[in-house]
Amino acid sequence: MFEKDMETFSENLERLIHSGKTELKMADDGIRLCIQTLSKLQKQVDKEDFEDTQTEIEFFKNIKPIPMSYLIYFTEVRSCELMLPKAGDSHKVRYLEKEIKKINKFFSANHSFVNYMEQNKNYLDFEFFSRKGGMDFSFSPVINYYQNPEFSTTHDMLWSKVQALYRYIHYIREKLELIQPGSNSNFRKRQPNLLVWSGCKISLAEVIYALYHAGDINHGTADLKTLFSVFEDVFNIKFDNFYKTYREMKARKDPRAKYLLEIAINLEAKMRREDK
């Protein structure tokens, strides 16, 4: 029953991210979008509730945390944009490095829960993601964004913040690189220049887009810009305009994802040969 609102949210979010607005303006608009979406979801929950406990767990584990995590992310970005020193690159770098320390402290304090989620475990889902749960655990959300007893569980907010900080890490990394190229090397060491993509760029773009739409990296929280940035680092390649590349892929005659099809066929063929 949440499909339409979530689809609308995703479409509006994509438009916002690619709008070219300043980080501060994007954060302000993003906060409004997330609050509007969460309000709509809450009204639906208040009106119809859930068919069963499993549906409730699915909502608080995989649906609500999407706009909730973006609300937290945009709130963090807005705060950073407003608090970042206005002059002196060294002052700016120090501020961002403090933000990194805060992020690391958060993940360290909640490592048990992060480990539980990243390994796709589910044996504590009832306690974490149903309103009838409430198991006393050694960590707490620490934050109170949009808190409501009838629209929250013990850990949906914490899970949202984990996803938000995955995005915020990338934001800080890009900020550091713009202010002082190379200053973020202690935060995320770049891969040694040993791997070079020797195929067509559009073939690698197929792989990246496929991974993005599969939602299997950072539980689907990694955006396209982040994924392309990571692959550029790993394979020492530069994509000038990956949205244009996607349009070129769509303009092909079938099969449009021909590289993915080709490597899948090659892998299947190799396994069949080994079976003989």
232 in the same domain as 179: no
pLDDT reported for residue 25: 95
162 in the same domain as 230: no
Q: Please write the tens of the pLDDT for every residue from 96-155.
A: 989 999 998 998 889 889 888 877 788 999 989 988 876 544 444 444 445 566 788 888
150 in the same domain as 23: yes
144 in the same domain as 16: yes
161 in the same domain as 245: no
Given a cut of 60, whether residue 204 has pLDDT beyond it is: yes
Given a cut of 70, whether residue 162 has pLDDT beyond it is: yes
pLDDT reported for residue 220: 74
Q: Please write the tens of the pLDDT for every residue from 65-78.
A: 999 999 999 999 99
pLDDT reported for residue 23: 92
Only one residue has tokens 């202010």, namely 179
Domain stop point among 139, 167, 188? 188
Using only C-alpha atoms, what is the Rg of the chain?
Answer: 21
184 in the same domain as 195: no
Positive or negative: CA dihedral 242, 254, 199, 211: positive
Given a cut of 90, whether residue 207 has pLDDT beyond it is: yes
136 in the same domain as 54: yes
Given a cut of 50, whether residue 37 has pLDDT beyond it is: yes
Per-residue tokens: 107? 């993940």
Number of domains in the chain: 2
What is the pTM assigned to this prediction? 0.69
What's the pLDDT band for 264 if we cut at 50, 70, 90?
very high
What's the pLDDT band for 182 if we cut at 50, 70, 90?
low
In this predicted model, which residue has the larger pLDDT, 234 or 84?
84
253 in the same domain as 161: no
Is 65 within 8 Å of 166 (Cβ atoms)?
no
153 Cβ neighbours under 8 A, 6+ residues apart: 60, 128, 129, 130, 131, 133
In this predicted model, which residue has the larger pLDDT, 89 or 33?
33
User: Hey, which of 8-22, 25-39, 114-128, 208-222 has the most confident mean pLDDT?
Assistant: 25-39
pLDDT reported for residue 30: 95
148 in the same domain as 251: no
276 in the same domain as 180: no
169 Cβ neighbours under 8 A, 6+ residues apart: 100, 103
165 in the same domain as 127: yes
104 in the same domain as 15: yes
**Mean pLDDT of the 241-270 span:** 88
**Mean pLDDT of the 151-175 span:** 88
What's the pLDDT band for 173 if we cut at 50, 70, 90?
confident
Percentage of residues in the chain having pLDDT higher than 90: 28
Range of the domain at 247: 190-276
C-alpha distances (whole Å) from 185 to each of 3, 43, 64, 181 are: 41, 45, 34, 9
